[in-house]
Amino acid sequence: MIVAGWGRLEESGQSAKSVQSASVPTVGLSKCRRLLKRKSRRLNVYSTQICAGVQGRDSCQGDSGGPLIKTHGGLDYVCGIVSWGVGCARKDLPGVYTKVSSYLDWIQDNME
């Protein structure tokens, strides 16, 4: 998957001057929950969310609302929306994205 945005280039850095993108692997929901619970018991991830990112490649502050894109058959699909994370691109702390497919009915109802 590809994440894109104008957010910070690193956790304590400046925002990007042009749109940036990074290839990020997805992390299974169970593994993501385990990793984030190690950081804090208050961190919850739901089935309506996707986890993605590894150390050095992730979304960051300022990317919220941006797309998580999957290319299939030559077409790009927005599968996720940048939501939250613990810092940026930290080891064993994937970013959390809103899963677009969980909200397709709401999106279609509000597009009219």
Beta-sheet strands, E only, within the chain: 2-5, 20-23, 26-27, 49-52, 67-72, 75-84, 95-99
Count of the separate structural domains present in the chain: 1
Residue 59: the pLDDT is 96
Write the pLDDT tens digit of every residue in 94-109. 999 999 999 999 999 9
Q: What is the CATH number of the domain that holds 90?
A: 2.40.10.10
| Alpha helices in the chain, H assignment, sequence order | 29-39, 104-109
Contacts of 1 (CB under 8 A, 6+ apart): 23, 24, 25, 26, 52, 68, 69, 70, 79, 80
CA atoms within 13 A of residue 38's CA, in its CB half-sphere: 9
Residue 112: the pLDDT is 74
Domain that holds residue 57: 2-109
Q: Specify the pTM.
A: 0.92
* Mean pLDDT of all residues in 78-96: 96
